[in-house]
Chains A and B, each alone.
Chain A
Amino acid sequence: MLTTKVFFRKTKGGNIFKTVREHYLRDDIYCGFKACKKCKARSRDLVLDEEDTVKSSLIPLSYVLILDTNIILDQIDILEEDVITNVIILQTVLEEIRHRSSNVYKKLKNIIKDSKRKFFVFINEHHRETYIEREPGEKINDRNDRAIRVAVKWYNNHLSFDDYNIKVVLLTDDVENRTRAAEDGLFVLSMEDYITSLENSSFLLDKLSKHSYTLDIQSQELFPCHLTPIFVQGRTNLNRAVDGDIVAIEILPDSQWSAPSEIVLQDEENADDADDADDVSENEKVLAKTSLLKTKEKIPTGKIVGIIRRKWRQYCGILQPSPIKGNVRHLFVPAERKIPKIRIETRQAEILSKQRIIVALDSWPRNSRYPLGHFVRALGNIGDKETENEVLLLEHDVPPSHFSDAVLSFLPKLPWVITEMDIAQREDLRHLDICSVDPPGCTDIDDALHCRNLPNGNFDVGVHIADVSHFIRPGTALDKEAASRATTVYLVDKRIDMVPELLSSNLCSLRGGEERFAFSCIWEIDSDANIVNTRFCKSIIRSRRAMTYEEAQLKIDDATQQDAIAQSLRGLNQIAKQLKKRRLQNGALTLASPEIRFQVDSETHDPIDVEAKKLRETNSMVEEFMLLANISVAERILKEFPECAMLRRHPEPPQSNFEPLIKAAKNQGFIINTNTGKELAQSLEESKKESNPYFNTMLKILATRCMLQAVYFISGMHQPEEFKHYGLACPIYTHFTSPIRRYADIIVHRLLAVCIGADATYPQLLDKKNNHLLCQNLNYRNRMAQYAGRASVALHTHLFFRDKVQDEEGYILFVRKNALQVLIPKYGLEGILYLSNSTSSNSITFTYNSEDQSQTCGNIVFRAFDPIIVQMSLDRSNIQHEKLIFKLVKPEIPDFSVPPLNKETVNIIEGDSIKETLKRKAEIQQESINIHNKKAGKKKKKKKN
């Protein structure tokens, strides 16, 4: 049967067009019941039966549920519980959800896919008996509601045969729909009634979304109605927007514009504890005052008048302790500071108060100070390392560490043996003395090296990369999973693999003494480190030994060792030095970021000691050859696939990014030239200070912060000029060398395999748009993995400093208006030393000079890069966010600094590094006598440099 759908569409220009589409109605759509004899469906479509449904006190018989759209949209968390089974999802509902919320739609699709849940999609819109036309004047929502009712009715009729007693229950929270359905004689319930009628329902009740939640007291309205223009600084202007929402704003008149503050806001703990409407926290008041005073730095200021699209997700956090015992209403404090507290209702507060929990946002009525939400699940006890780890994984959207059975089914069967055919297809390089060099404890070894002398005096150098693409075939569940994970996430005590462990630590890992498949990149390099020729091949190798950086370094340095590996390493090291030199000459940046290693207790996995990562010659040796391999591969795949090669680029940062660096260096009398990468590299190298050996490193740390993120991209999507890698100063780059832990490398492997005729292409590999989307995912996951890694380091630092107070030498990285940002090189740690604390009422005042970025107190001046000594301790008063507290030890300021813990150690350090501050103290004293000369003198200084 055929009908036509006619609808009207308005274009941007305002023209109205009529669109006519065909709509076929069918008689071969089945009901999905196993017991149904009328429908001749295939067995895999028979989803629904009468078993396993939870008993409900309201419904006497066994039953199936049909859900209205609003139920799914609001109560998806309940639906995700395994308790709810035997549900019919109508196509009308599914379509509505797809249009309303892609997030919920995805979740629903996952539930439908799970065969244990028995969710059945009934395509009512194409069924001959359940399709309805929209009546003239009927709203589309009313029509959809009617379609749902018609479908329920059809099911009732369809199932009323013989003695088959099963009830079809419509669940809807729409009151009108409910009354109409009742009029039609359908069995209809609201979600709340249904859930309460279930056996053991109390844990589900917590998850009930609070849309119908009404405040019993006639509370005053805290917020202006959307679209009424009233200006109040702070919370009211935010008008219930949550981080990530798309909002409509109204620009305020010029007179109300304000400027962003340079004050580092401290936790406003006490201020917003109370539920009072009128308390604006202390800091906000200060903020309002200062920003109104300053006139010149004003930027356009607006306020939110409407919220176009909510981007609410689930949030991690803790319950705020409730003053009244047994209260069911609680405030939830999210871990992320950007998110407001959330009001939830729970009956298990006793247990949950000690745990980290996840809460979903539901709504934010005008008369409520906080948004309303509901409890989703508990993660574990606060302070447990396990829980905290899980929190940081969740907050960074890192997928769970286990793999599904579908993914694991694509793994090769053990014992894995190399067949004759494999040998025939690959080059046999087992005779070469190949070895790998990695950090200690590394189990996913994806690169190995070799070097031997050729008769003509040149070197034969090979980089051998684990052939992961041999095991992960395109289109399999394993491939899809790896693509969505995109990268292995490294935490301090844990690794979340991109590919299952069998591959990552065994079959792909190039372990010493075992035969493994590799993708080899082999060069002939002359004695001046020029590449004579390059070739790529799939190979079989046997790594002679897996070494750590330290072992390799010892082997190179120990002249008594003359075995093949030692010679090979020496050859590699020699070439690597030349390569590095040339690379730096070309303007590659050597950047620094404080990296540390934790010594972790093998049993408890608690950190015992912290040390900064050491860099050895061998580190840079491996790095050089990886760079070389990546560049060679990038050139090759771009040549073969100009449109769809996956490359990596690092855009040049805009000059404005460098301003803090230039400013800070200038205060120390150095000029940093940032016009090109080469000039920047040069000027960074030249800026060295005899008195402060760490100065150069700090400049490099600052420079690193000016950089943009490097990203993956598809060559067809950018102009060739944009391919450049700024940091490495090479025109083209990609990732080839770590396919075990990065998905981009797998794609590059596949492309290269096609280039050398070792493998066939497949449609997605050459699909530019598809790959572009893939790149976006890779970039997003990479960023998240990086953040998660940093968060993990921070977490372990906090664990380490529990119950510890320590004096450490630090350097001032930035001078802020009310604080100093301090870097502790020993731990690679950064923290804030507050200078003016509003709570303590001491007489010490610091004067901030924004021009040369200094803080002065009495005769002591703090400038960026100055060494100081701070006392570190962990503040655990806020259980959600434990934080490190820095207190000043040296230079001493009476009433502000704290006495050192151990006099002697401080004195030793003081001996050399505090000198400079003291020296300048004297300088300033002199200068203050003759203030007018000060500026002139400074100018001269600049010229000299």
Chain B
Amino acid sequence: MTDPDQEDSQGGLRSDGRRALELRQIRLRMGVFGQADGSAYIEHGNTKVLAAVYGPHQPKSNISRNSTKAFVNCQYSMAVFSFTSGERKRRPRGDWKSQERSAQLRHAMEAIIHLELYPRSQIDIFVEVLQVDGSDYCASVNASTLALIDAGIPIKNYAVGCTVSLINKLTTEEEEDKTLATGVLDANFVEECSPGVTLSVVALPETNNEVEVDGSGLIVVAHGAGQRLHLSRLEALKKRALQGCQDIKEILDGGVRHHLTANLLPSFLHNSLE
């Protein structure tokens, strides 16, 4: 995963000891709630997110009652205690940031769900961020994908989120952050706060299967934060982000398969045996 030629003796490691293209430890569980139709819990290091899916069910509002496609309703909220810095968030949801995240989450989910299978119905996705340590939006996309799978809603592909950050420290001697300056994956909170750009990308890895290139995929949502990004750098960042998405997808896929074999298969076998 790491590109050995690009690291430097000291600067090759990030502040938490990872190399530029290494992800944080990802842990996941599916089916954490009994009441929801589907649910999942995911950790990207210290970023911890819970997602629950309700539906498809009869739509609550009149607008989508006669539509030919399912209506996806997303709610993104951050727990008041979620900041690692110890500050308290004033409102868990409804603020500008949460609303924007909700909308973007909806875009991502609409891209993968086979909406045409559920006319005149609604799917609710609730995401609760329990702890924030960078890349929280991407973690919530991953959690939502897992929750949809858990709910048994047909999807086209995994929607996988991954951030890529340019940490250009404002130093004149750039030798040491040459590698980091070309973008690091899965930024934590400290890296997100550093001066530079953080690009959050949601992609459907390996969507165009005929080209088996590293980091191919269809980008669904991308948004940047921080400083302005020079256009010449975008392509390199995109490539890195897509590679990150693919790595995360492998982890999620492994998690899903494990969940299905460990939890569901035995009971199914048990039933069939009876």
Contacts and interface: CB of A to CB of B under 8 A. Distances in A.
Contacts of B4: 42
Given A17-B87, A22-B24, A762 B230 contact: yes
A18 B9 contact: no
A112 B25 CA distance: 33
Contacts of A777: 172
B188 interface: yes
Contact of A23 (B16, B85, B87, B228): B16
B170 A766 contact: no
A123 B10 contact: yes
A150 B5 CA distance: 29
B13 A123 contact: yes
Interface residues of A, number: 40
B85 A773 contact: no
A925 interface: no
B172 A484 contact: yes
Contact of B233 (A109, A480, A763): A763
Contacts of B25: 2
Given A17-B86, A22-B24, A91 B10 contact: yes
Interface in B1-15: 4-5, 9-10, 13
Interface string A435-449: 000000000000000
B227 to A, nearest CB: 7
A769 interface: yes
Contacts of B170: 769-770, 773
A551 to B, nearest CB: 43
Contact of A20 (B9, B84, B173, B232): B84
A17 B87 CA distance: 7
A770 B170 CA distance: 7
A45 interface: yes
B16 A21 contact: yes
Contacts of B16: 21-24
Given A480-B172, A763-B230, A25 B17 contact: yes
Contacts of B24: 22
A761 interface: yes
Contact of A45 (B9, B46, B233): B9
A94 interface: yes
B17 A109 contact: no
B1 to A, nearest CB: 12
A113 B10 contact: no
B234 to A, nearest CB: 11
Contacts of A24: 16-18
B190 A21 contact: yes
Contacts of A16: 86
A126 B12 CA distance: 12
Nearest to A42: B4
Interface in B187-246: 188, 190, 195, 227-228, 230, 232-233
B175 interface: yes
A121 B9 contact: yes
Interface in B152-179: 170, 172-173, 175
A886 B220 CA distance: 81
Contacts of B230: 761-763, 766
Q: Binding site of A, secondary structure by majority: helix, strand, loop or mixed?
A: mixed
A497 to B, nearest CB: 20
A26 interface: yes
Nearest to B86: A17
A767 interface: yes
Interface centre among A2, A22, A45 (most CB of B within 10 A): A22
B85 A109 contact: no
B255 interface: no
Contacts of A762: 230, 232
Interface centre among B17, B25, B228, B232 (most CB of A within 10 A): B17
Nearest to A26: B17
Contacts of A123: 9-10, 13
Contacts of B17: 23-26, 125-126
B45 interface: yes
Interface centre among B4, B87, B230 (most CB of A within 10 A): B230
Contacts of B84: 19-21
A17 B10 contact: no
Contacts of A773: 170, 172
A33 interface: no
Given A761-B230, A763-B232, A22 B9 contact: no
Interface of A: 2, 4, 9, 15-26, 42, 45, 91, 94, 109, 112-113, 120-121, 123, 125-126, 480, 483-484, 760-763, 766-767, 769-770, 773, 777
Given A21-B46, A112-B9, A769-B195, 6 more contacts: A20-B133, A22-B188, A45-B9, A91-B10, A121-B10, A126-B17
19 contacts: A2-B25, A9-B85, A17-B85, A17-B87, A19-B84, A19-B85, A21-B188, A22-B24, A23-B16, A23-B17, A25-B17, A26-B17, A94-B10, A113-B175, A480-B172, A762-B230, A767-B227, A769-B195, A770-B170
List the 4 shortest-distance A-B pairs measured between CB atoms, nearest first: A17-B86, A24-B17, A763-B230, A126-B17
Interface of B: 4-5, 9-10, 13, 16-18, 24-25, 45-46, 84-87, 133, 170, 172-173, 175, 188, 190, 195, 227-228, 230, 232-233
